[in-house]
Chain A
Amino acid sequence: MTTLSKPIKKHSPVAQNAMSFYQQQVEALIASESDVALVAFRQQASQHFAEQGFPTRRDEDWKYTPLNAFLQTHYHRTGVAHVSDVDIKPFLPPFDVMHLVFVDGYFSERFSDDLSELPDGLSIESVKDALDFKQGYTAFLSHEMGIEKEAFGTLNSMLFDDGVVIQLEPHCVVERPILCTYVQTQNEHANTIRNRVTLAHGAQLTLLQQHVSLNNELNAFDNVVTEINVAENALLNQVVLQALNSSSVYFGLQFVDQAKNSMFRTHYIGLGSSLSRHQNVLRMTEEHIESEQSSACFANGQQIMDTRTHTEHQAWWGKSRQLHKLVLDDHAVGVFNGMIKVAREAQKTDGQMDNKNLLLSDKAKVDSKPQLEIYADDVKCSHGSASGQISDEQIFYLRARGINADDARRLVTQAFLLEPLESISLTPVRHWLAEKLMHKLNA
């Protein structure tokens, strides 16, 4: 008869191979590790991963994200390859930043700005340093944000190499944006990155992160977990630019905890990877918290781009805004999955989530799942999703003004895709990102 216990998850041979491969990787890592606490941490993650395994398309949250191709390649940890200044230069933006460079997942002192001359109240360390000096060590490893619920979060805990730890003291306002550039240089290499950003009350920061590949031939795997704490009255503006080559794989998980009267704004720009998945998990636990999550992604060829957000309103007067746009050409697949959850205690919540998708080819595909889960009655929540192609009416209007059809189409597509960037207040940053998007669109 029917059994009611949870069925034991069946993994394909490919998935099983991949799982044992990554378990071997962690065993090797543990063998060379001397720190007892870190070893215990990785072991725990490893045990958890053995039970959890890789998700399959039968998992509700992975219905639209195929992992087959990813699982067939085994991404090693092999250490840092040699790169030169010339290699890194092209990735520098045309405006002033504090630049931190990570090569193959590891912090590179050579290419980064000098960290000994930071403004008062700002501290930046690589995770390796933070761990070596045992500073904030326990704090770094302890997390309550549910990283282990995500398979790739668990994998990250098992295998992370390096990352950045940024801390702002109370009322420290950093004007100059910090840019972290993660360069992948080796084929079939895993860059497992773990970041932690902590803003004390009243602090303000603009943090830019870009993921890039050294060339177009390699196929590497960026697995990033970023934990963010934004304390009372603090403000964090964040931009993640995923501009890997079109063979690589990107998994980004961001866990954000916000306190009273704080503001968190994040923009994700998705351009590269054969398979990418960027996910924000926001917990708005105190009153008067504001957040904005926006994204602009353009996928073509065989790319699969998955953007997802999980926003939990847990206290009064929260406000969240989201605008996510996907443009899909050729055989590309786009996914948007958003959830706004409003707890019983979160009265007067104002949550809005919009997803708009443009399909440029008849082989492109989009799956959209904007969700609301609401337990408080005095709230204003809405979501919208629209998918379609450029309207003939718009094209005709432009043509009637003398613009040729191709230009018209490009103009409309550009305008569509650039809208989420409008809320980036730093003009040079906005222009830089817009240029990246347009470069790909017009290629």
Chain B
Amino acid sequence: MVRIVLTSEFSMTQTTQYQEINDILQKNQHYKEGFFTTTAVETFAKGLNESVVRAISAKKHEPQWMLDFRLKAFKHWQTMIEPHWAKAEYEPIDYQDYSYYSAPECGSCSESCDKALDGKDHTQANQIDPEVAKAFASLGVPINDDGEANIAVDAIFDSVSISTTKRDDLAKLGIIFCSFSEAVHDYPELVQQYIGTVVPHHDNFFAALNSAVASDGTFVYVPPGVRCPIDLSTYFRINEAKTGQFERTILIADKGSYVSYLEGCSAPVRDTYQLHAAVVEVIVHEDAEVKYSTVQNWYPGDDDCQGGILNFVTKRGICEGKNSKLSWTQAETGSAITWKYPSCILKGDNSIGEFYSVALTNRRQQADTGTKMIHIGKNTSSTIISKGLSAGRSDNTYRGLVKILPSAEGARNFTQCDSMLIGDQCGAHTFPYIEVENPTAQVEHEATTSRIGEDQLFYCQQRGISEQDAISMIVNGFCKEVFKELPLEFAQEAEELLAISLEGSVG
């Protein structure tokens, strides 16, 4: 595996990603030899202890404060117990059986490689792994600055960010969009100001683990009054087996700014569980708005979901200032186990939190997902729309908390949880927690469970539509309210994913 940093010389004129890949392949011909030697991966021996945490930090040339943060988290993690309250069954994880650092072997390469690793020098590391490029291309991820795409991409392959596009355009607006590792070096004040403020290192078991061994991730800062003209996006791909991925993403929208951020995930076929424990912190200041969209399609494992991704993620945002707004939209179709509750702390008066989710489980997948809406400020409002689809022998759980604190005068929440069961071997569950401590608050929760009606199927078939098409049409209709919140291409991708994921579940 190789760290790839695309420089502008590769990417000025290409019109399609495939052409671009070919070009990259040609350019890299003479690196072929070196390429193969450098695919050797430097991976720490399996296991986790304090010296591993120190070594990770050292490898990344991190400043002392970052190391301190890691060590503090690690010490706390050691006192914690793996949570098993989610409605998911899995063998307890042997944390000593994972490797916590995996990066290019640097034995043969020079200083430049290290420099590249710390994110300071991009020009020296022009190697690209064609397989990596191909992988991203086939995933439809534009990893080059081709000037055409209306999107900026940070592509992360296993533990490292391989390219971040459109940075210069964004820089002109004062927007910082870079990998987390780079941000630690280049914007230490900002990182220090915000890291751990929304998700403290002791928040939960997996957040503590992430804080100790964080690999890479994305850092976004949008300055006051700036409306980010393009979508920012991170694409995560796990490739290496038995390596945990622990990315850390921080997104800050300063006063009056706006940004739409997208995140896509995938992983190849492996026969052992891969661990993914990410932490995302979002800070939304006064009058700012953040739209955070995720299409998660991690490898779900084989037919019995053996070897799929264990996806234990802590995502949380704070609407810090007045009139701020944070909107989470997610389409979750992958992973063997998903444990994820993107949350909003509505601190600023009149702030708004939204959570739109489609979670589909098939085979033996287990998803336990939902949100937390913590109302603190006056007239804060939140909306939760959750659509759960269960097929095969899977279990799909919505778990959510709506908490209205005494200070949240005039708070409003509306929650709608709909579940659809496809087949009679799966489960659909709804576990909402509603805590109201202010009488002026209005909290409404509704949940339904249904299946595709025989009469609906017959109606479609009577109009000439095949059963499979009818099912996919009805399922997409069921998810419509959520998909309409996703950016267009993402919505299409989500619909296609749904169709693929449902394959073989009915018929």
Q: Does A touch B (CB under 8 Å) in the complex?
A: yes
Say whether B436 contacts A371, CB under 8 Å.
no
A387 to B403, CA, bound (A): 12
Are A387 and B449 in contact, CB atoms less than 8 angstroms apart?
A: no
CA distance A244 to B95 in the complex (A): 53
Query: Which listed segment binds A: B117-125, B264-272, B426-434?
Result: B426-434
Q: Does A376 contact B (CB under 8 A)?
A: yes
With an 8 A cutoff between CB atoms, is B422 at the interface?
yes
Query: How far does the Cβ of B95 sit from chain A's closest Cβ, in whole Å?
Result: 7
Contact: B406 with A382, CB < 8 Å? no
Question: How many whole Å from B253's CB to the nearest CB in chain A?
Answer: 31
A371 touches B435 (CB 8 A): no
Closest partner residue, chain B, to A375 (CB atom): B427
**Smallest CB gap from B92: residue in A:** A4
| Cβ–Cβ contact B406 & A373, under 8 A | no
Binary flags per residue of A358-383, CB closer than 8 Å to B gives 1, else 0: 01111111111111111111111111
Which residues of A sit under 8 angstroms from B437, Cβ to Cβ? 365
Decide if B448 touches A344 in the complex (CB within 8 Å).
no
A357 contacts B by Cβ under 8 Å: yes
**B445 interface residue per 8 A CB criterion:** yes
A32 interface residue (CB < 8 Å to B): no
- For A51, list chain B residues within 8 Å (CB): none
A359 touches B449 (CB 8 A): no
Docked Cα-Cα span, A242 to B468, in Å, equals 55
Q: Is the CB of B426 within 8 A of A371?
A: no
Complex CA gap A374/B388 in Å reads 12
Q: Does A2 contact B (CB under 8 A)?
A: yes
Kindly identify which residue among B81, B431, B436, B449 contacts A2, using a CB–CB cutoff of 8 Å: B81
Contacts known (A359-B439, A362-B406, A385-B444); A344 close to B425, Cβ less than 8 A: yes
Q: Please tell me if the beta carbons of A367 and B433 are within 8 angstroms of each other in the complex.
A: yes
Specify which chain B residues have a CB less than 8 angstroms from the CB of A3 in the assembled complex.
81
Return the chain A residue nearest B431 by Cβ: A371
Q: Does residue A79 face the partner (Cβ distance < 8 Å to B)?
A: no
Determine whether the beta carbon of A60 is less than 8 Å from that of B451: no
B436, A357: Cβ atoms closer than 8 Å: yes
CA–CA, A183 to B428, complex, Å? 44
A384 on the interface (CB 8 Å rule)? yes
- Judge whether B147 is part of the interface by a CB distance below 8 angstroms: no
B96 within 8 A of A: yes
Beta-carbon contacts under 8 Å, A1-20 to B: 1-4, 7
Q: Which residue of chain A lies nearest to B85 when distances are taken between CB atoms in the complex?
A: A60
Q: What chain A residues lie within 8 Å of B419 (beta carbons)?
A: 372, 374
Number of interface residues of A (CB under 8 A): 40
Residues of A within 8 A of B78 (CB): 1-2
B430–A372 touching, CB < 8 Å = yes
Whole-angstrom CA separation of A377 from B96 in the bound complex: 40
Inter-chain contact B443/A388, CB cutoff 8 Å: yes
**B424 within 8 Å of A (CB atoms):** yes
Assess the A385–B445 pair: CB atoms within 8 A.
Answer: yes
A389-B95 in contact (CB<8A)? no
> Closest chain A residue to B429 by CB distance?
A373
Known: A7-B81, A380-B449, A386-B443. A374 touches B428 (CB 8 A): yes
Contact assessment for A384 and B439 in the assembled complex, using a CB-CB cutoff below 8 Å: no
Question: What distance in Å separates the Cβ of A304 from its nearest Cβ neighbour in chain B?
Answer: 14
Q: How far is the CA of A361 from the CA of B440 in the complex (A)?
A: 9
Contact A368 B446 (CB under 8 A): no
Q: Give the docked Cα–Cα distance between A363 and B432 (Å).
A: 23
Given A371-B431, A379-B449, A386-B444: A365 in contact with B81 (beta carbons within 8 A): no
On whether A386 and B448 interact (CB within 8 A), knowing A372-B430, A374-B428, A374-B429, the answer reads no
A387–B434 contact, CB under 8 A? yes
A382 in contact with B447 (CB, 8 Å): yes
Minimum Cβ distance to chain B for residue A157 (Å): 28
Q: Which residues of B contact A359 (CB under 8 A)?
A: 436, 438-439, 441
Closest to B451 in A: A377
Complex alpha-carbon distance, A385 and B401, angstroms: 13
Assess whether A377 is in contact with B426, with CB atoms less than 8 Å apart: yes
Taking a contact as CB atoms under 8 Å apart, the answer to whether A387 and B436 are in contact is yes
- Across the A-B interface, give the 10 residue pairs with the lowest CB-CB distance, nearest first: A359-B439, A377-B421, A388-B442, A368-B434, A385-B445, A372-B430, A381-B449, A4-B92, A387-B436, A389-B439
Pairs A–B under 8 Å by Cβ, sample size 27: A1-B95, A2-B80, A4-B81, A344-B424, A364-B439, A367-B435, A368-B432, A368-B433, A368-B435, A368-B436, A369-B434, A370-B447, A371-B429, A373-B427, A376-B421, A377-B422, A377-B426, A379-B451, A381-B448, A382-B448, A384-B444, A385-B432, A385-B434, A386-B443, A386-B444, A387-B441, A389-B442
List chain A positions with a Cβ less than 8 A from chain B. Answer: 1-4, 7, 60, 344, 347, 357, 359-389
Residues of chain B having any CB pair with chain A under 8 Å: 78, 80-82, 85, 92, 95-96, 406, 419, 421-451
18 additional contacts (CB under 8 A) given A369-B432, A371-B430: A1-B78, A4-B82, A362-B440, A366-B434, A366-B435, A368-B432, A368-B434, A370-B447, A371-B431, A374-B427, A374-B429, A377-B426, A382-B448, A385-B434, A386-B442, A386-B443, A387-B434, A388-B440
